[in-house]
Amino acid sequence: MTANDIPDEGHFQNPVPAAPVDENTWVLLPRRSGFFSQLWGALSRWKLTFYLMQLTILTVYQKAILSWLWLIIRPFIMAIGATFVIRDVIGVDSGDIPYPLFVLASLPGLILFQRGMAWCTRGLDRNTRIIQVLNCPRLPVYWSTIAPAAVEAFVVVICFFLAVGYYYFHDGVLYIKLTIDLWLIIPSALALLLIIKGVCLFTSILQLYAMDVWFTLRYVIPIAMFSAPALYPLSAVPEAYREAALLNPISAPFLGIRYALFGMDAAGADYIFYSLGIGVILNILGLMFFLRWEAYLVDAS
């Protein structure tokens, strides 16, 4: 057998014993593991994914003095800061919707994007010791890293409904439009989640190779957030740049959620399936990249 005949170890996993040649000799043959078999192996370990999610959430604020209070403090500071800068300083008008309520409608998506990109990109790097010791697929470890961001976003959703109740009793107006368009919240949230996880399938692996990935993302994430009409209505974007703003894949989820809740920014609702398509493509390509390189880079780190 020549060196060229030796198969690439990235294509084989989990050696299994073959039938014994004799009583004292066994031959170990590699078992071929393709894309779908690796993916199914990760999906079949869904209990591991949920366990790692719980473990990640419990350890996030373990060393913080204020502990779980940060789940409320962080979005509160973001809402106050956005209200002061964008409404009071820049003078952006949110129409008939109170601006604090307008911001709280977008904050869950912003937190999921900002914190989710951070956690998912650094997830494998932070758990390198665990996944080098445990003989398990790395995909469940990667999937679990979104958990802290998802919990923070869920807390803000609760705060949003509390704010809706406050304005209803204070102004006598129910600002949420209870129409059939509320179903658009589901594909909008799904599109944003798919984009986050699709991009991070690449960045989480590249982060193992070079820390420059996260250093770069720390500047890219704010640019992506502020270039999308998340903290301001689509009408605030100059007409010449409005189409470019809509082509930003993370714009449509925010616009779709606001259209579903308040009936505003209707133009963005047509782009939800555009964002969904990009999210699906990113996940397919990202999974191929992730499953091809994760074993080599995790073990080499």
> Model pTM?
0.79
Give residue for tokens 């944003």: 192
12 within a domain of the structure (yes/no): no
Q: Which residues contact 79 (CB under 8 A, 6 or more apart)?
A: 100, 103, 104, 107
Q: Quote the pLDDT of residue 236.
A: 84
Taking each helix axis from N to C end, the angle separating 99-126 and 251-262, rounded to the nearest 10 degrees, works out to: 140
- Domain with 224, as residue range(s), is 34-300
Q: Is 117 left (phi over 0), alpha (psi -120 to 50) or beta?
A: alpha
Q: Quote the pLDDT of residue 35.
A: 61
23 within a domain of the structure (yes/no): no
212 within a domain of the structure (yes/no): yes
Q: Quote the pLDDT of residue 196.
A: 94
3 within a domain of the structure (yes/no): no
Q: Is 146 helix (H, G, I), strand (E, B) or coil?
A: coil
Q: Quote the pLDDT of residue 141.
A: 81
Ranges of the chain whose pLDDT falls below 50: 1-21, 26-32
pLDDT digit string, tens, across residues 120-166: 898 877 777 776 666 667 788 888 888 888 888 998 899 899 999 99
28 within a domain of the structure (yes/no): no
Structure tokens at 163: 């704010």
239 within a domain of the structure (yes/no): yes
- DSSP states of 224-239: HHHHTTTSS-GGGS-H
Q: Quote the pLDDT of residue 173.
A: 86
Task: Annotate 70-108 with b (16+ C-beta within 10 A) or e (fewer).
Answer: bbeebbeebbeebbeebbeeeebebeebbbbbbbbbbbb
Q: Using CA of residue 111, residue 112, residue 115, residue 117, what is the dihedral sign?
A: negative
Q: Quote the pLDDT of residue 12.
A: 40
91 within a domain of the structure (yes/no): yes
Q: Which residues contact 24 (CB under 8 A, 6 or more apart)?
A: none
Neighbour tally for 167: CB within 10 Å: 17
In angstroms, what CA-CA distances link 6 with 12, 25, 256, 293, 295? 11, 22, 52, 18, 18
First-to-final CA distance of the chain: 31
Number of structural domains in the chain: 1
139 within a domain of the structure (yes/no): yes
Supply the DSSP symbol for 4: G
Q: Quote the pLDDT of residue 190.
A: 94
- Of 247, 246, 223, which Cα lies nearest the Cα of 233? 246
